[in-house]
């Protein structure tokens, strides 16, 4: 057994508003981990856990949970403190605990009610602790001792890692006899019809925050969605409603660009800017407006590469992969990344694809014009890669991401016999993004009167010629055949050998212009074959592969956004029956998870003899995740339910 285990998430509750999140048991208690059983429970702010314990007791015992619900982003828990009950079998005392999170703060309201003959008095105590550890330690299953608190004018105060956390409870008595485990207490008296109340608040500040919460309300189209025609399928209505609520909580901005919003990738591990994730999420949301696309494009353009920096994998014109407040080190995975990291092969063409789509969806002309210089630099980067044959990647640092497409785990690109592919790697879907970016980039430049730069290969004629050459090479190099017929290899390895696994990646090719209509029909049929279609969405790796396992991160699990990309492409290429089949699978999966779609779930087959009656969780998956939530909009759009 590994010494450290990544904490499971699937049984926990979260209340959040970027960049702050509170994770707890379903009874509302925030409990510290114990050796061998790490936990993500706590309040995280700006990738630091600022509170690691908040356990409520009544008369010295934890009240027994009776039920909980989420409403409007708040978590409410009802618990029964039977130790203070009156005589008889009926519970005559109850505690209601309501938790809300805003950017940089968490507030908790306590209500003590009773139905006894006489007023009821009870001592309420809240046991607190803060370990102030970075998220990377939490994610790796590590732990440290709690940090001592100080009592200041503001309240109980902890400071570490440039972050300060303060607990304010003006009406509570404070016990600091053990500074690492302070206790708040209230003596509350309730009478029938006259509940007693108390509250406390946690506020957090980060002096070196890389991202902050987005100011103001969500885009108007998101807020208006609740008042429009509801989908005929109740599941879709609930999925859409929960997703838009979650996406509202994931809205972020940069301290230097407060008016430009993007979506944080997902809670808890990726509560920051990820280029690829933010771009796909914004692209999914275009049917509801262009505001998120404009903000995302602008934010990423502000970090566009300007120089060659091998350590950060930065290159002129390249769009970044991820942004952190400090570097990220994951010892078990032998990964060490700088705060701004460019190790992604697909974010640059995807940035161009989003710019074009947003322009066509009605993004203001002046906003497009402001981004054209960045577009020309991005086109130069894509064109240079295509001139060499294909867009490809190879980590040369030894501690960066070994795989730099969306399937970025170390074992995600493997042959059918399970052997891992060696770099450099040319992924099939990245060539599709590049083709689309080159063709649409040429159209965009012409529409705005730009001739491009011939020496960079970015004149419209050069861009179209590069796209045509790419399509011809792809047709010769990537197509394979097995017992089910022709299909597209996931990638070419460093020797130019096709990596022969059948994967969901081929779904990303549809609607990009890279394939002919006949080739798109072949891919469409292959996607809905049971080796890839689990009934709850597309498996990342076909069941015919030696490395397949339904709970492998990129080797058999199902990712909602991946399936949504395929649904989007199937609809765009005229394969609506196949799109509807995959959409039905995602709706069944969403129902399994209370309509808060996780980052990924197991690839077990859907209901039937010996099969899963509900989608099986992947226990460490982020939930919510921006592009998973945004997949609800893709389904609604493809099914004609956004009108």
pLDDT at 245 over 90: yes
As given in the structure block, the two tokens for residue 7 are 């904490």
Could you tell me which residues are beta bridge partners of residue 150? Answer: 157
User: Do 501 and 416 contact (CB within 8 A), yes or no?
Assistant: yes
Alpha helices in 345-457 (DSSP H): 347-360, 365-387, 428-447
Residue 86 vs residues 110, 212, 248: alpha-carbon distances, Å: 20, 48, 44
Could you tell me which residues are beta bridge partners of residue 126? Answer: 56, 184
Q: Are strands 48-51 and 42-45 parallel, antiparallel or unpaired?
A: antiparallel
CATH label, 212-638, candidates 3.40.350.10, 1.20.1600.10, 3.40.50.1370, 1.50.10.10: 1.50.10.10
Phi and psi, residue 508, nearest 5°: -75, -15
Quote the pLDDT of residue 329.
87
User: Do 337 and 324 contact (CB within 8 A), yes or no?
Assistant: yes
Q: Is 515 helix (H, G, I), strand (E, B) or coil?
A: coil
Phi and psi, residue 535, nearest 5°: 95, -15
How much is the average pLDDT of 306-335? 93
Give the whole-angstrom CA distance, residue 62 versus residue 581.
47
Domain ranges of the chain: 13-206, 212-638
Give the whole-angstrom CA distance, residue 183 versus residue 127.
5
From 170, 76, 171, 86, select the one nearest 121 (Cα to Cα). Answer: 86
15-25 pLDDT, tens digit each: 999 999 999 99
Q: Is the dihedral of CA 373, 377, 382, 386 positive or negative?
A: positive
Quote the pLDDT of residue 225.
75
Quote the pLDDT of residue 196.
98
Quote the pLDDT of residue 201.
98
Q: Is 56 helix (H, G, I), strand (E, B) or coil?
A: strand
137-159 pLDDT, tens digit each: 999 998 789 999 999 999 999 99
Verify cis geometry, omega within 30 degrees of 0, for the bond prior to 19: yes
Average pLDDT score over the chain: 95
As given in the structure block, the two tokens for residue 209 are 């925050």
How much is the average pLDDT of 400-411? 96
Residue 417 vs residues 99, 463, 498: alpha-carbon distances, Å: 50, 38, 13
How much is the average pLDDT of 431-444? 98
User: Do 510 and 502 contact (CB within 8 A), yes or no?
Assistant: no
Same fold, 13-206 and 212-638: no
Vertex 97, ends 67 and 598: CA angle to 5°?
60
Q: Burial, 598: exposed, middle or buried (Cβ in 10 Å; 0-12, 13-18, 19+)? A: buried
Give the whole-angstrom CA distance, residue 129 versus residue 168.
14
Judged by average pLDDT, the poorest of 220-229, 236-245, 435-444, 500-509 is 220-229
In CATH terms, the superfamily for domain 13-206 is Glycoside hydrolase, family 65, N-terminal domain (2.70.98.40)
Place 1 in a pLDDT band, splitting at 50, 70 and 90. Answer: very low
The pTM score is: 0.96
User: Do 226 and 241 contact (CB within 8 A), yes or no?
Assistant: yes
Quote the pLDDT of residue 228.
62
Q: Burial, 449: exposed, middle or buried (Cβ in 10 Å; 0-12, 13-18, 19+)? A: exposed
Residue 5 vs residues 32, 36, 86, 141, 332: alpha-carbon distances, Å: 15, 8, 44, 5, 10
Give the whole-angstrom CA distance, residue 466 versus residue 462.
6
Quote the pLDDT of residue 610.
59
From 575, 562, 584, 572, select the one nearest 635 (Cα to Cα). Answer: 584
How many CB atoms lie under 10 A from the CB of residue 168? Answer: 16
User: Do 103 and 129 contact (CB within 8 A), yes or no?
Assistant: no
Give the whole-angstrom CA distance, residue 15 versus residue 335.
29
User: Do 574 and 638 contact (CB within 8 A), yes or no?
Assistant: no
* Maximum CA extent, the chain: 88
Quote the pLDDT of residue 334.
87
- Region class of 59: left (phi > 0), else alpha (psi between -120 and 50), else beta: left
């Amino acid at each position: 057994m590994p010494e450290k285990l990544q904490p499971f998430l699937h049984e926990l509750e979260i209340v959040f508003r970027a960049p702050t999140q509170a994770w707890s048991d379903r009874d509302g208690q925030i409990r510290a981990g114990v050796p061998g059983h790490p936990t993500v429970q706590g309040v995280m702010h700006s990738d630091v856990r600022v509170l690691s314990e908040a356990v409520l007791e009544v008369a010295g015992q934890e009240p027994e949970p009776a039920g909980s619900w989420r409403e409007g982003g708040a978590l409410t828990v009802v618990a029964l403190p039977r130790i203070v009950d009156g005589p008889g079998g009926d519970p005559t005392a109850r505690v209601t605990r309501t938790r809300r999170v805003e950017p940089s703060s968490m507030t908790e309201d306590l209500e003590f009610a009773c139905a006894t003959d006489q007023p009821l008095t009870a001592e309420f105590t809240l046991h607190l602790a803060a370990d102030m550890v970075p998220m990377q330690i939490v994610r790796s299953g590590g732990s440290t001792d709690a940090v001592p608190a100080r009592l200041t004018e503001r309240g109980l105060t902890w400071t570490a890692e440039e972050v300060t956390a303060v607990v304010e409870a003006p009406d509570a008595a404070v016990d600091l006899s053990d500074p690492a485990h302070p206790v708040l207490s209230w003596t509350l008296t309730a009478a029938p019809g006259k509940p007693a109340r108390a509250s406390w608040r946690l506020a957090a500040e980060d002096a070196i925050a890389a991202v902050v919460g987005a100011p103001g309300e969500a885009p108007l189209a998101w807020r208006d969605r609740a008042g429009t025609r509801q989908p005929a399928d109740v599941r879709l209505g609930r999925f859409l409603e929960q997703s838009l609520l979650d996406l509202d909580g994931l809205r972020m901005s940069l301290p230097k660009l407060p008016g430009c919003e993007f979506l944080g990738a997902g809670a808890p591990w990726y509560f920051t800017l990820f280029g690829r994730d933010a771009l796909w999420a914004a692209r999914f949301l275009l049917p509801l407006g262009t505001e998120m696309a404009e903000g995302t494009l602008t934010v990423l353009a502000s970090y566009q590469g300007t120089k060659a920096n091998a350590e950060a994998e930065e290159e002129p014109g390249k769009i970044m992969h991820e942004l952190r407040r400090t570097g990220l080190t994951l010892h078990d995975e032998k990964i060490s990344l700088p705060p701004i990291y460019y190790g992604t092969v697909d974010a640059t063409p995807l940035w161009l694809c989003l710019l074009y789509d947003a322009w066509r969806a009605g993004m203001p002309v002046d906003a497009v014009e402001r981004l054209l210089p960045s577009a020309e630099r991005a086109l130069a980067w894509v064109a240079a890669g295509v001139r060499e044959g294909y867009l490809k990647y190879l980590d040369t640092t030894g501690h960066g991401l070994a795989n730099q497409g969306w399937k970025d785990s170390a074992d995600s690109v493997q042959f059918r016999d399970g052997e891992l592919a060696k770099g450099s790697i040319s992924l099939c879907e990245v060539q599709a993004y590049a083709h689309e970016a080159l063709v649409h980039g040429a159209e965009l430049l012409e529409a705005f009167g730009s001739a491009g730069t011939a020496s960079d290969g970015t004149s419209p004629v050069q861009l179209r010629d590069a796209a045509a050459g790419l399509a011809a090479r792809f047709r010769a190099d990537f197509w394979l055949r097995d017992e089910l017929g022709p299909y597209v290899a996931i990638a070419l390895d460093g020797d130019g050998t096709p990596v022969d696994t059948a994967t969901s990646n081929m779904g990303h090719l549809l609607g990009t212009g890279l394939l002919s209509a006949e080739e798109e029909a072949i891919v469409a049929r292959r996607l809905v074959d049971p080796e890839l279609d689990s009934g709850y969405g597309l498996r990342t790796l076909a069941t015919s592969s030696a490395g397949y396992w339904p709970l492998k991160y990129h080797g058999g699990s199902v990712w909602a956004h991946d399936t949504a990309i395929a649904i989007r492409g199937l609809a765009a290429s005229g394969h609506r029956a196949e799109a509807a089949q995959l959409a039905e699978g995602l709706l069944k999966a969403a129902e399994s998870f209370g309509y808060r779609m996780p980052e990924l779930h197991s690839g077990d087959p859907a209901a039937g003899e010996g099969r899963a009656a509900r989608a099986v969780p992947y226990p460490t998956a982020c939930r919510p995740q921006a592009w998973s939530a945004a997949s609800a909009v893709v389904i609604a759009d493809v099914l004609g339910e956004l009108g």
